[in-house]
Structure 1
Amino acid sequence: MLNLLVTGGGGQLGRSLAEVPGVAVHAPTSAELDVTSAGAVIEAVSSLAAPAVVINAAAYTAVDKAESEPARAFAVNADAPRVLAAACSSRNVPLIHVSTDYVFAGDATTPYDVDSPVGPQGTYGVTKLAGEDAVLGSGARSWVVRTSWVYSAYGSNFVKTMARLESSRETLSVVDDQRGAPTWAADLAAGLVELANRIAEGAAPASRILHCTGGGETTWFEFARAVFTELGADPDRVSPCTTADYPTPAKRPAYSVLSNASWVEAGLTPLRPWREALSAAFAAHDFRVSS
């Protein structure tokens, strides 16, 4: 059985990875494994029994807060992956590093391919791109998997926020001029485990950067209406607004849809369409419950 070390085990992706059957998952939380501690990271990688793969799901994801805490964001998103990759390289353990659509400028009109020019617009994106570069340049057997708009029944995310607001507000406005691809963490986790198994079996993709998101695309406004529908609420209670109507410290990409062509070309199973996944997620979890 494949042994997976998942950093960031307390996050929504880390918790979802721990639930994937058929693999032995060790998913320590940030309190149990501080990825900014070189000694702790080296010890964790060194203790892995073969066959093993490391999935780095640890990240500083507070996009707005990163603008005022750049040092912390760099420590978690750039320095920690560098140390983790070095540890994996020294032990010859494959590494899958999870990254984000925020490495792109967001000014495209068609889905970003893996080799599309990058151009992060904020500290979060800059630090995540630095993490990608550190991993890919480390000499480790490593792959970067970019994803977008991740949600789950765990932690804080858009779907849980909409479920909370539905019960506390009669109406709400959501931006309708930002497009992306919602991704259920459970589907992403299954895809990452499939990739890890392929790597462990010696059938790793030739491309070292892959995109893996829910199928299709939508706006936050349309996404919110779909959440209301799943809650049995009237979606017309959600009205559209513009990004300018809802200013934030960090600039959001207007268009951050990622092309999953690299994933399909690698022979990996594409994730289901985002709307279908959202229905499955609600069938599996109560998003109104804090978790």
Structure 2
Amino acid sequence: EIMLHMPHISHMPHFMRSMHMPKFAKRLEHTVGHELGTIEHKISKEMKPMETAYDAVYDGLNSPDYNKYPELGGNSIDAINSNALHVFLLVVGATTIGLCLDPCLSKCWTPGRPRLWSLFLLIASYGLLVPGLSSVVLSFDIIANIVGHRINIQPDVTQDTCTESVYGLIKLLYETGSNIGAEMVFFYAIVVPAAKLLLLATGELLRFSPSRCGVAVSRTCIVTVQHISKWASPDMFAYIMLVHLIRDLDNFPLILTAGRLDEGFTCFSVF
């Protein structure tokens, strides 16, 4: 065995005399190996999140639906078109029935009252208001493709798409801090139609009032309805603008957007 021999120094013991090289080398190898193992473990620990992210990006880029446009909720395009046709036939049919009944009931109808066809048209229109408010009015979704990840961007992350009726849209606007927008939609979609119906009913009840004051109130109600009818549908244009803005954000393949107006919009616009 190789021995380490050091020159003797006076008053100093030969502490290295018994040190053998194989033992020293083995001890050194063990120490270096332990340090290298510790460093390797730390590197592996630091690299694990990067490996996980790399795998996620790779899987995302190779996913079959990575560049697929989002699927919207609500009704299909065929169902929306079919509903629009039914709505059109309902309004035309109600008006036609009124026209046919006008000659038959003209004798028992008080002169000066609205014609039956206009009354039937009014009833059909307000009949469409109920599904116009409660049915799906619009649906949209925005997908951002960022480094292999499909990120769904919409107000409610618990839903796959933003599919709302007028009531749901008002609630959504309030919950997301758009209080003015919610109040405007509520005013034009609910308050104005209700006020118009109330004014029309009041005007007809007082049309032949024995007092001049009653007749004046009736005339005022009818004129007011004629005026507010000209600006009673800005919310309808707001729905159109919203869907247009969503579609205009599309920038394939980074941003994928989809949006459409549903049957609730059809009923409300015909109303």
TM-score norm. by structure 2 comes to 0.27
Greater RCO (CA < 8 Å, at least 6 residues apart): 2
TM-score norm. by structure 1 comes to 0.26
Higher helix share: 2
